[in-house]
């Protein structure tokens, strides 16, 4: 692993109106956390769940949370190192491919 990355899930308690049959932001966060830790054991990823309606004061995070609301993005919106890698119903394959660009190695490729 070259660099520990930060994965941020932007969402809300209320499910996105266009995402009614999809998991909540919290459920998506927990699902991603479990999937990533299984696929990349002993390769930590910093993960944060941000409430878009009550973001922390951290300026970049607050700005992006506002953008999710203003642009009516489907949430949860998943970013990896600031790049959007999923929206509404994120795909593991896409997130895994991005992690591997940072040097993360899947468990089946011999750590």
Which residue has better confidence, 17 or 109? 17
- pLDDT given at position 1: 57
- pLDDT given at position 16: 66
Read off the pLDDT band of 92 (50, 70, 90).
Answer: very high
Read off the pLDDT band of 3 (50, 70, 90).
Answer: confident
- pLDDT given at position 88: 87
Token output for 64: 């992006």
Q: Is the dihedral of CA 20, 24, 27, 28 positive or negative?
A: positive
For the chain, domain boundaries:
6-109
Query: What proportion of the chain, given as a percentage, has pLDDT over 70?
Result: 91
Task: Kindly report the CATH class assigned to 6-109.
Answer: alpha beta
pLDDT for 6 beyond 60: yes
pLDDT for 111 beyond 50: no
Does this model's pTM top 0.85? My answer is yes
pLDDT tens digits for 20-63? 677 888 999 999 999 999 999 999 899 999 999 999 999 999 99
């Amino acid at each position: 692993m070259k660099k520990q990355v930060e994965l941020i899930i932007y969402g809300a308690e209320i499910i996105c109106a266009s995402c009614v049959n999809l998991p909540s932001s919290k459920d998506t966060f927990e699902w991603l956390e479990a999937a990533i830790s299984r696929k990349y054991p002993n390769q930590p990823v910093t993960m944060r769940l941000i409430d878009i309606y009550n973001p922390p004061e951290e300026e970049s995070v607050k700005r992006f949370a506002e953008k999710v609301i203003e642009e009516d993005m489907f949430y949860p919106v998943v970013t990896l190192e600031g790049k959007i890698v999923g929206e509404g119903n994120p795909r593991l394959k896409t997130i895994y491919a991005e992690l591997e660009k940072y040097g993360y190695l899947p468990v089946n490729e011999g750590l």
